[in-house]
Amino acid sequence: MNIRKTLLLCALGGAFIVGAAWLAPDLLSFASLKHHQQALSEAIAAHPLLSVALGFAVYVGVTALSIPGAAALTLLIGALFPLWLAVVLVSFASTLGATLAMLASRYLLRDWVQRRFARQMQTVNRGMARDGARYLFALRLMPLFPFFLVNLLAGLTRLGVVRYWWVSQLAMLPATIVFVNAGRELGNVASLHDILSPGMAIAFTLLGLLPLATRRLLSRFTSSAH
């Protein structure tokens, strides 16, 4: 490993340590985020553009460094911003974070990923050889591996960055919309009575149906590809 890669790897490791230390274990829990919702809403109203930029940067950092809490952060963004803006923010931030993680795997962590996830890499190589970018689309819809691991393993494939970006963004969009909408409904909960509202019922129904819908879509997608 040359000096440039060594320095970049140290910078990446330092960013992860700082991020993990700054984000307390329960900071991105739903209870903690809900507690601070009112203060955050006031700050967004006072500084909307800055708030969007900070929210985007935090989300990119969380996903790029594989820090736990992306799901809770998605719910929070859904609760704080208008639906369309929250979907755009989360969609592009999650895809950018995933792409940065993939590039780190490809250019900095290749040897470590190959040693640590050799068995999973064999599965991905077979899928990519058979279906190409369609396999990444399938992994994003119905993940065989965790989100962070898909990013790392994709970095060791020959998939181009641009294709990786648009396939990831397209495949993750349905789940993004469902979770952002759920966060929007949760943000409106002020009492136990609100939990029984039609909006909450629809939001949680969509969350429950998401795995079934993606499984059905994936089966149709794979059958049409062969």
Tokens (6 digits) for 136: 């990444």
Q: Looking at the predicted structure, is the pLDDT value of residue 76 above 80? A: yes
- With a CB cutoff of 8 Å and minimum separation 6, the contacts of 78 are 86, 90, 179, 180, 181, 182, 183, 184, 186, 187
Cα–Cα nearest to 198, from 185, 210, 207: 185
Total domain count, the chain: 1
Percent of the chain residues past pLDDT 90, beyond the cut: 36
- In this prediction, residue 196 carries a pLDDT of 44
Q: Looking at the predicted structure, is the pLDDT value of residue 120 above 60? A: yes
Q: Cα separation of 55 and 199, whole Å?
A: 25
Q: How far apart, in Å, are the Cα atoms of 17 and each of 22, 72, 134, 146?
A: 8, 21, 34, 21
Q: What is the mean pLDDT of residues 20-26?
A: 48
Confidence band, pLDDT 50/70/90 cuts, at residue 195 = very low
- In this prediction, residue 32 carries a pLDDT of 59
Among 18-27, 38-47, 134-143, top mean pLDDT goes to 38-47
Q: Cα separation of 90 and 35, whole Å?
A: 21
Between residues 213 and 182, the one the model is more confident about: 182
Instruction: Judge contact between 88 and 157, C-beta under 8 A.
Output: no
Q: How far apart, in Å, are the Cα atoms of 146 and each of 45, 141, 152, 198?
A: 35, 12, 10, 32
Tokens (6 digits) for 134: 């369609």
Q: What is the mean pLDDT of residues 149-169?
A: 93
- In this prediction, residue 9 carries a pLDDT of 52
Domain that holds residue 175: 3-225
pTM, two decimal places: 0.74
